[in-house]
Structure 1
Amino acid sequence: MRLLLAASLLVLVAGETLEWFQYKVAPLAEECKEETSATEDDIRKVLERQDPDTRASQCLLACVYRRLGGMTRSGLASSDELRDSLLELYRDSAYKQGQVGLIVDRCSPAVEQQPDVCLKARKLFECIRENVY
């Protein structure tokens, strides 16, 4: 199954590979799997940047964001921590790195309005998708 998952990591989005994103996120998603009761389908959604439409996939995403330094157990990390986390995550793309300030400015207020950490992760995902992809 892991070999199949690894093979699926070669998906292209907007002409740009997901290689670095998946290199960083795949091991974290595996670590977060037990903590969040996520399924292989939930992990696939996160790795392929698909809408986290289940509670487990949203909590998995929150755990991954937390391990990347963009979130805490109760919510969004500080603006500087989120900025640093995104700059590292998008180190393979000058365009995406150029969007990080915009993401932090636009997404932080919307994310903080969400009632729990899993919904905050989904909102952050949606906001990043709207401002980067």
Structure 2
Amino acid sequence: MKILYICLIVCAALISNAKCDHEKAKAVANECKEEVGATDDEVESFLKFEAAETMTAKCLGACVIKRFGLMNGDGKIDREKSIEILEIIANGNEEQQALGVEVLDACADIDVNEDHCEAAEEYRSCMHAKAKEIGFEMGRV
């Protein structure tokens, strides 16, 4: 399943020692759950790339993407790290890789709220919409 969490993500495409997997994503989301006070339902929604309905859910998203280096200290998307993750999750599928880069290009430089929690959700929303528009498979972490 192709995924993108840059904001994700893109939401939650995650990298650790050149691996991207559900267990790592879930573990980090659960660590962040404790940090921001999120619920199990908010973690599950996050892992499905669903819209964050509460500030806590938005902060969960920000926490996770920061932990994986996808959002820098200024609340902006780290394009280099995102490209690394796209290469991993595309797993040799050049078409999905190209579509992922198109999503990244469309959303990485959008103007976002200074609040990192709000910014993370704005990135997720942009990437989700663009992915749907062009056929990039975001899937589920």
Shared fold per TM-score greater than 0.5: yes
Percentage identity across paired residues of the two chains: 25
Q: Tell me which protein shows more helix as a share of its residues.
A: 1
Name the counterpart of 2:106: 106
Question: 1:37 deviation in Å?
Answer: 0.9
Do 2:46 and 2:52's aligned partners in 1 also have CA atoms closer than 8 Å? yes
Do 1:62 and 1:118's aligned partners in 2 also have CA atoms closer than 8 Å? yes
Greater radius of gyration (CA): 1
Do 1:58 and 1:119's aligned partners in 2 also have CA atoms closer than 8 Å? yes
Please state whether the residue corresponding to 2:109 is helix, strand or coil: helix
**TM-score after normalising by structure 1:** 0.71
Deviating beyond 6 angstroms after TM superposition, the runs of 4 or more aligned structure 1 residues are: none
Query: Any unmatched runs of 5+ in structure 1?
Result: 1-15
> Cα distance 1:93–1:60, how it changes in 2: closer, same or farther (>3 A)?
farther
Name the counterpart of 2:118: 119
Please state whether the residue corresponding to 2:52 is helix, strand or coil: coil
Give the Cα separation in 1 of the matches to 2:92 and 2:53.
Answer: 27
Do 2:58 and 2:117's aligned partners in 1 also have CA atoms closer than 8 Å? yes
Question: 1:107 deviation in Å?
Answer: 0.6
**Greater relative contact order structure (CA < 8 Å, 6+ sep):** 2
Name the counterpart of 2:131: 132
Name the counterpart of 1:28: 28
> Cα distance 1:70–1:85, how it changes in 2: closer, same or farther (>3 A)?
farther
Question: 1:83 deviation in Å?
Answer: 2.0
Equivalent residues, number: 115
Q: Which amino acid aligns with 2:122?
A: K
Question: 1:84 deviation in Å?
Answer: 1.8
User: Counterparts of 1:1-133 in structure 2 under 5 Å?
Assistant: 16=1, 22-88=22-88, 90-91=89-90, 94=93, 95-110=95-110, 112-133=111-132
Please state whether the residue corresponding to 2:108 is helix, strand or coil: helix
Give a deviation string over 1:28-49, Cα, whole Å, max 9, x none.
1011111111111110110122
Query: Any unmatched runs of 5+ in structure 2?
Result: 4-19, 133-141
Give the Cα separation in 2 of the matches to 1:99 and 1:23.
Answer: 25
